[in-house]
A = this chain, B = another copy of it.
């Protein structure tokens, strides 16, 4: 059973610990049977809490689902932000961030599943990660004179490609080939030629965020 967020809250007060226990449990249950099919009762039971405790922390399942995805995305964003500080080339940033995002999500199988479920329900493009992505895209567009319009629809298209990659890997296990390919697709979509796209992705693969992940 996941204990990621519970562990993060170890030093905090009881309220925070119980809340994160619920989030950890929800990640497991959501990823197991989907968000719709999961019931509050099952989550609290598995968490070893009483039924009513849930409502001391969340208004309803919807709020929980939002908190869960936000917590996951925030956690991934935090790791990305730390390591991408040096990069100042937009295209590289986009490529490395996409690949690393997928990698981290899939490495935590349950995170990927929950994000995939949540993406079906509400667009993810307004999450923090995609706000960073938008900045990187604008940087890349300016630097590389890309033939694109950086707007919501572009982000949605890129996001849906990433989700297609998540789905595929949830069925077939983590595969760097899938990530390589979807990153190429994203760059092609941004206007790079197949050859350029391939070269960019090959380079990105060298970045610690990506390569280290591959090896561990």
* Chain B residue with Cβ nearest A120: B120
User: Could you give, for residues 170-189 of chain A, a 1 whenever the CB lies within 8 Å of some chain B CB and a 0 otherwise?
Assistant: 00000000100110010011
Contact of A167 among B156, B164, B189, B191 (CB under 8 A): B156
| Copies assembled | 4
Taking a contact as CB atoms under 8 Å apart, the answer to whether B157 and A182 are in contact is yes
- Report which of B36, B160, B191, B194 forms a contact with A160, defined as CB distance below 8 A: B160
A160 to B160, CA, bound (A): 6
B153 touches A160 (CB 8 A): no
A53 contacts B by Cβ under 8 Å: no
Nearest B residue to A152, CB-CB: B168
A189 lies within 8 A of B193 (CB): no
A163 within 8 A of partner (CB): yes
Q: Quick one: which of B36, B123, B181 contacts A153, CB cutoff 8 A? A: B181
A40 interface residue (CB < 8 Å to B): no
A147 beta carbon closer than 8 Å to chain B: yes
Mask, A136-165, CB within 8 Å of B = 1, is: 000000000001000001001101110110
Q: Is the CB of B189 within 8 A of A185?
A: yes
- The answer on a CB contact under 8 Å between B193 and A168 is no
| Contact of A178 with B153 in the complex, beta carbons under 8 Å | yes
In the complex, the answer to whether B168 meets A164 with C-beta atoms within 8 Å is no
Q: How far is the CB of A158 from chain B (nearest CB, A)?
A: 9
Q: List 24 A-B contacts (CB under 8 A).
A: A36-B36, A120-B120, A123-B167, A147-B194, A153-B164, A153-B168, A153-B178, A153-B181, A156-B167, A156-B168, A157-B161, A157-B164, A157-B182, A157-B185, A160-B160, A160-B163, A160-B164, A161-B161, A185-B189, A188-B189, A189-B189, A191-B193, A191-B194, A193-B193
